[in-house]
């Protein structure tokens, strides 16, 4: 059975970064490398892996420990990622988002750096926002609580949580006053299959003892549609779910079901 990066022995952010730096240094020393690479995902060919075809992806924001991974791109388009350098070899992007582990099914908590890389790739690389109003995600901190949604051996989405009592930002002492569903993403080709409802159900049941739960402002039109359907099916959550701006005091929250009715 094929093994994918997420299934291989765990590495930490330091090992990931030093592997990237060492590979780049060896590439610069030899000036060219005739490693031929073909991406199964795009069928575009890169004849040689050279420093000109590689960029470093920074997984977290500047104030966090540096964690970089190398991405291979076609010569004409730096924004496109064909493959990533992990475990001393190049992997097509699609392979990095796959698993051979049967235990990775449904919503699973993110625990390893490879799983954080998957959240990064889904939010920053694979599902780039389109011009017509989709929200772009900022980088998630390395300590953020995330769950990846696995289906048939593929990562099809994720969601992140701001916990009650956690800091709202790095420059003030404000803390969230309730658990907040912060970011949600389901891959475009996997939408309209009930995954959004599955995420909402998982979030609400994870905090069953909390009287009120938040969903980050602003809600996209797609998210409003999913929540409407969810609350039509689950009346017990209508009084619980609020659209909130940090930190989520009463003046910063609006009941979502009430808003939909209005």
pLDDT at 24: 87
As a whole number of angstroms, the distance between CA 232 and CA 25 comes to 57
pLDDT score at 148 = 98
The DSSP string of 55-120 is: EEEE-S-TTSPP-EEEEE--TT-TT---EEEETTEEEEHHHHTB---TT--EEEE--SHHHHHHHH
Number of neighbouring beta carbons within 10 Å of residue 219: 18
pLDDT, tens only, 131-154 = 555 567 888 888 899 999 999 999
- Compute the average pLDDT of residues 178-186: 96
Residue percentage of the chain with pLDDT more than 70? 89
Residue 41: pLDDT band (50, 70, 90) is very low
- 234 DSSP 8-state letter: -
Q: What crossing angle do the helices spanning 221-233 and 195-206 adopt, rounded to 10°? A: 70
Does 34 score more than 70 pLDDT?
Answer: no
Domains and CATH numbers, the chain: 5-97 (no CATH), 106-261 (3.40.630.30)
Burial of 154 (0-12, 13-18, 19+ CB in 10 A): middle
With pLDDT > 90 as the criterion, what percentage of the chain qualifies?
Answer: 60
Q: Report pLDDT for 40.
A: 46
What's the pLDDT tens digit per position in 69-121? 999 988 888 888 999 999 989 999 999 999 999 999 999 999 999 999 999 99
């Amino acid at each position: 059975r094929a093994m994918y990066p997420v299934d291989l022995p765990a590495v930490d952010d330091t090992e990931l970064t030093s592997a990237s730096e060492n590979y780049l240094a060896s590439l610069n020393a030899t000036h060219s490398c005739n490693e031929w690479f073909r991406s199964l995902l795009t069928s575009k060919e890169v004849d040689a892996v050279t420093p000109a075809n590689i960029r470093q992806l920074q997984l977290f924001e500047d104030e966090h420990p540096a964690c970089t991974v190398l991405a291979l791109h076609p010569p004409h388009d730096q924004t496109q990622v064909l493959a990533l350098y992990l475990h001393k070899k190049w992997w097509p992007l699609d392979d990095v988002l796959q698993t051979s582990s049967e235990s990775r099914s449904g919503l699973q908590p993110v625990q390893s750096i490879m799983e954080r890389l998957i959240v990064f790739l889904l939010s920053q690389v694979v599902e780039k926002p389109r011009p017509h109003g989709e929200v772009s995600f900022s980088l998630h901190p390395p300590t953020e609580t995330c769950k990846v949604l696995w289906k048939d051996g593929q990562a099809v989405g994720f969601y992140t949580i701001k916990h009650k009592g956690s800091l709202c930002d790095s420059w003030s002492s404000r803390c969230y006053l309730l658990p907040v569903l912060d970011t949600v993403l389901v891959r475009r080709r996997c939408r309209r299959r009930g995954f959004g409802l599955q995420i909402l159900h998982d979030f609400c049941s994870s905090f069953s003892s909390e009287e009120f739960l938040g969903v980050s402002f602003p809600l996209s039109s797609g998210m409003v549609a999913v929540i409407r359907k969810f609350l039509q099916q689950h009346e017990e959550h209508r009084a619980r779910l609020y659209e909130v701006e940090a930190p989520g005091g009463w003046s910063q929250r609006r009941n979502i079901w009430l808003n939909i009715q209005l």
